[in-house]
Structure 1
Amino acid sequence: MIALHNNKAWTLSSYIITLVLIIPVVVMLVGGVSASTQLFVHLWQTVLPSYLENTLLLALGVLVLALFFGVCSAAIITQTNIVFRKQLRWLLLLPLAMPAYLVAYLYTDLFDYAGPVQRTLRAWFNWQSPNDYWFFDIRTLPGAAFMLALVLFPYIYMITRGAFEQQDHNLTRASRLLGCTAKQSFFKVSLPLARPAIAVSASLVLMETLADFATVQYFSVNTLTTAIYDTWLGYGDLGAANALASVLMLLVLFVVLAEQRSRAGLRHQSARPNAKQSLIQLSLSQQLMASLFCWALVILGFLLPITLLIMMAVQYSDMAQLSILLSTGINSLKVSVLAATIAVVIALLLGLYQRLHCDKYRQFPQLISSFGYAVPGTVLAMAMLSTLGPLDHWLNDSAEFLGFTTPGLLLSGTLFAIVFALVVRFSAIANGTIVSGIKQIPQSLDYAPATLGVSLKGSLTKVHLPMLMPAILVAWLLVFVEAMKELPAVLLLRPFNFETLSSQIYQLISDEMLEQGALGAILIVLFGLLPIVLLNKSKEQL
């Protein structure tokens, strides 16, 4: 790292911003640790152990299934001569665009007792009641695990695929020369080399699983996220909700630390990767099985759900729905644009501070500000309520004392709370993208402006920011899409009579009326496809 400047205002602003981003989480944790409410004790003695058990079982189920789907598909795409390999390489990323709660509702509607599949079976075989036949119940904990794994496995597929492609394939050739078969080379060389990448992707899947709310709520699987939501909205006990949120935070922290420890000192990329790889030649039957496996993931994870949504939209959409969609769509755009813009500005400030400042601890602001991504949306909402609620009361008391009109819930009851929560949660995405872009700038360009007498402002505006424009655009778009899809934080923090696309669709799903919001669901999926297209293009250019 190069340190050229010593701007005290830059240092102060960087640390203040970092402090503001982390304070809500600290307040929530302190509130949870100090909480001793009777409700929390009652929950702990009754239902909380089962909630915790469900959370752990769900996380384990999703992880096992996602690892199976992701690692196997990555190995098939990178190691074999499967038919339609180039097409499947990017098609397997598409399920990432589908929110899990949408997939859960669509498959429940498809396979439920009153759904088309069971109705067709009853008509074919003349079955009269459920006692005449057995059919799986999708609204269970294993069903929720399968739904989540179906849309989360692309994390593992994408990162593991990259690890396989960046390996030095001379090592594989060496193992073959030593007598290993193709299968043995994969399990003894390629797969162990990819272990750090698999650990990283597995931690992302676990964090997303622990953060999920809508899927488990719809499937009536009681986990810690649903317990937090019910404790706050059902019982109105913020202290008990904070305590539950603290338990969930400890689980997430354990996942992060375990992931970092599992890959400590390991590398998954070669210093000299060899792009020339001899693919494993599969027989016709093996190619058929491998192709069916990959196409099944694409169809079940994306093509079938989006087809069902399009059919619903064509059948049920009308002008009244379009007007409602316009209103909620504007709300979603407003929140997402604000969150993405603020997150990117903060990422630029902290990323360039880390690169160009002489502060000995200049890397800490950027690292600490990225912590929010590990915080589930429900937990983050509790943190915002614990922080902004008391501030609102203080502002109102101060205004009343001074004889001014009380401002009301100026912070916790407006868009400020939602945007603040989204910035905290998704700053890590902006940080990672901006830092990656900064690393692409030659270090000589940091020195050159200074040697020519150019000020810090001139260096930033004429050199660094123009070169960072592609990274800025990608970072903004990634945060924008994630903010559009965010549900738990929006549900808990949205003002009265304020709906976004995600919250409106969730309400319709809860009322078994997704058909009325099919257009909005399609819009969310289309927005979700944008970063996938960008990721695919960036990977193709490498």
Structure 2
Amino acid sequence: MIFLRRQPPGLQAAGPAWRCASFLIAIGVLAPVLTLAWLAFGSGIGHWGPLFAHVLPQATLNTAVLLAGVGTLVLLIGTGCAWLVTAHDFPGRGVLHWALLLPLAMPTYIVAFAYLDLLHPIGPVQGAIRWMLGFDSPRQFRLPDLRSMPGAIFVLGFVLYPYVYMTARAMFMTQPAHLMEAARMLGESRRGAFFRVALPLARPALAVGLSLALLETLNDIGASEFLGVNTLTVAVYTTWITRSDLAGAAQIACAMLFVVVALVWLERNGRRHQRFGSAQRMRAVQPRRLRGGAAWAATAAAALPVLIGFVAPAAYLVWESAKRLRQGGGISQGLVASLGNTLTLASGVTVVAVAAGLVVAWAARSQGSGPGRARWQARAATLGYAVPGTVLAIGLLTPALAFDAALATAFGWQGLPLMSCGVVLVVACAIRFLAMPVGGIEAGLSRIPPAIEQASRLLGETTAGTLRRVHLPLLRPAMASAALLVFVDAMKELPATLLLRPANFDTLATWLYAEAARGTYEEGAIAALAIVLAGLLPVVLLARNQLGTPSATLAAEKT
């Protein structure tokens, strides 16, 4: 009798076309990094001397200080707020537990744009403070300049803390109450039980949230440049655009990759140390009701990050947009064109990313999880989110130009067809956000019982037919959520769009960037408000899931 090796029950082997497509997608995600290394080390060592002497030391120091400051701030705010709303009951807790997610709707460059005007020496905040103190001139009293390293840490920290808040609160909600009770019975105070029991158990979740916040910090270009902090990301942009030095930009981008590897190692190390107890459902920590001054102090402490990270900049954008419309300025044709470009770009990125994510997830499911399986393709396809947009842009530029030249030679076209029609920009954004559809669709496929596939195959359906008639209808919620996340993130993407957009092509993000550079805040406020309104959609979905479902958590989707 001959025994044939088969797939696990219910899982059908993907055809060669699916496996080949999944392989090509994974290679496509890795290609920019490989190209970057070739550019950096294949252009000779002549560039490295000036970079090491004049650019890299200061940019690396600024990046390290910014990452350290933002990391400390997001850990303090995110962990503190997560424990406050999980273990305590106070006025407004029912609203604040989801309102603390609202800063996720505010891109960092928009918050920096808003606070530069709000905290300007002749702006409303400092003007009100001088009025209360009886001063008449900024020379008599002024706050420290926001255009500084502390200002950048302040802005980025109060926008990115929800990454830590989400992961920490999910962990605190699942911790068994009897562990804290045992610590209290052994003589520990509530504070001691938190630091010696609850916090150590939450360290893997904190590492995941912290790494996500730091990756967003490293990817940021708008806020850092607005606030005068020359990070590695800003150095890449200025070296390429201002100095027209692609090789030098590639070498700086390689230095950024070392930081990315360290952050990914932090996240993976934290996840590797996760441990799970028995499957028996444990009693969760019951919130302790606070009264009197302690209750209102807890309300103020939990509300402060929401006020700084969302309410104040959002109110500023609404005020400035309304003022622009009241003054009869209206909405310019350029802004309308930028909105159309943004929707077109986001739609294209969404279609490409979700389709690629479906291919990768389906091939990975079909190949199973046993030893020797080629599931590395799914893991490789999700690495794009860890690579900053500037690095992706530089890595894609050389192969895109080579492909454009081949097309021009083959068909007699003029110019750069792929670059000029935005195909390269769509590919860059799709690579960057591919982790979301791959993760979401894989999670959706894992919930479909193998028996459904078995029944379909027994009834004579092919593998492709089973996917089309059985899986796709069941995957609609997961695919819709992934598509929404990709669409909104593509609308907000600034670094890759700045570097790879076609000539005379502006999105809302690049329009805002240009308006901020010119100091015309009223027109930029309308673009920023449109981006924020779009960014609220995934935050609302996240809040509806009450942070209790890991597959619905934005951080889980992105990792």
Coarse TM-score class (shorter-chain normalised): over 0.9
Aligned twin of 1:455: 462
Q: Which residue of 1 aligns with 2:401?
A: 389
- Number of the residue aligned with 1:472: 479
* 2:228 aligned residue: 220
Is the contact between residue 205 and residue 270 of structure 2 (CA under 8 Å) also seen in structure 1?
Answer: no
Question: What is the match of residue 534 of structure 1?
Answer: 541
- Structure 1 residue 205: Cα displacement: 0.6
8 A contact 2:208–2:270 mirrored in 1: no
Q: Which residue of 2 aligns with 1:185?
A: 193
Change (3 A) 1:40 1:150: same
CA distance in 1, matches of 2:276, 2:301: 26
- 1:380 maps to a residue whose letter is L
What is the one-letter code of the residue matched to 2:155?
M
* TM-score, length of structure 1 as denominator length: 0.94
Q: 1:37·1:239 contact (CA, 8 Å) conserved in 2?
A: no
State yes or no: 1:424 paired with 2:436.
no
- Aligned partner of residue 132 in structure 1, secondary structure: coil
Cα separation, 2, equivalents of 1:358 and 1:268 = 24
Q: How far does residue 451 in structure 1 lie from its aligned partner after superposition?
A: 3.2
CA distance in 2, matches of 1:178, 1:123: 54
Deviations 1:503-530 (A, max 9, x none): 0011101111121132221110011010
Unaligned segments of structure 2, at least 5 residues:
1-7, 550-559
Deviations 1:108-140 (A, max 9, x none): 212221212333444554546555335211110
Q: Distance in 2 between matches of 1:49 and 1:312?
A: 39
In the alignment, structure 1 residue 349 sits paired with structure 2 residue 359 = yes
Q: Distance in 1 between matches of 2:278 and 2:313?
A: 39
Q: Which residue of 1 aligns with 2:36?
A: 28
What are the equivalent positions in structure 2 for 1:103-502 lying under 5 Å apart? 103-125=111-133, 127=135, 130-133=138-141, 135-267=143-275, 271-317=279-325, 318=328, 320-357=330-367, 360-396=372-408, 398-399=409-410, 405-502=412-509
Task: Return closer, same or farther for 1:135/1:6 CA change in 2, 3 Å cut-off.
Answer: closer
- Which residue type is aligned with residue 473 of structure 1? A
> Where in structure 1 do 4 or more consecutive aligned residues deviate above 6 Å?
none
With over 3 angstroms needed to count, the CA separation of the structure-2 counterparts of 1:530 and 1:187, relative to structure 1, is same
Bigger Cα displacement from structure 2, 433-442 vs 262-271: 262-271
| Residue 331 to residue 480, structure 1, CA distance change in 2 (3 Å) | same
User: Counterpart of 1:433 in structure 2: which amino acid?
Assistant: G
Percent identity among equivalent residues?
36
CA distance in 2, matches of 1:275, 1:452: 45
Q: Any conservation in 1 of the 2:170–2:548 contact (CA below 8 Å)? A: no
CA RMSD of aligned residues (A): 2.0
Q: Deviations over 1:443-465 (max 9, x none)?
A: 32233322333211221122211
Q: Deviations over 1:32-59 (max 9, x none)?
A: 1333364442122123201110000000
One-letter amino acid of the structure 1 residue matched with residue 317 of structure 2: L
Which residue in 1 is equivalent to 2:557?
A: none
Q: Which residue of 1 aligns with 2:556?
A: none
| CA positional deviation for 1:87 | 0.6
Is 1:193–1:267's contact at 8 Å kept on the other side of the alignment? Answer: no
Q: Is the 8 A contact 2:111 2:155 kept in 1?
A: yes
Question: How many Å separate the matches in 2 of 1:466 and 1:112?
Answer: 53
Q: How far does residue 144 in structure 1 lie from its aligned partner after superposition?
A: 0.3
Would you say the 8 A contact 1:211–1:377 is kept in 2?
yes
> Runs of 5+ in structure 1 lacking a partner?
none
Q: Summarize the Cα distance change of 1:358–1:299 in structure 2 as closer, same or farther, 3 Å threshold.
A: closer
1:138 partner amino acid: L
Please report how far the alpha carbon of residue 290 of structure 1 lies from its aligned counterpart in structure 2 after TM superposition.
1.5
The answer as to whether partners of 1:7 and 1:357 remain within 8 angstroms in 2 is no
Distance of 1:109 and 1:247 partners within structure 2: 33
- The amino acid that maps onto 1:252 is V
Aligned to 1:518: 525
Q: Provide the aligned length of Structure 1 versus Structure 2.
A: 537
Contact between 2:113 and 2:516, CA under 8 Å: does it hold in 1?
yes
From the superposition, tell whether residues 135 and 270 of structure 1 become closer, same or farther in structure 2 (CA, over 3 Å). Answer: farther
Distance 1:52 1:386 in 2: 25
Task: Tell me, in whole angstroms, the C-alpha distance in 2 between the residues paired with 1:71 and 1:152.
Answer: 12
Provide the C-alpha distance between the structure 2 equivalents of 1:335 and 1:351, rounded to a whole number of angstroms.
Answer: 24
For the structure 1 residues 476 and 146, does the alpha-carbon distance in structure 2 shift closer, same or farther, using more than 3 Å as the test?
Answer: same
Q: Distance in 2 between matches of 1:406 and 1:264?
A: 52
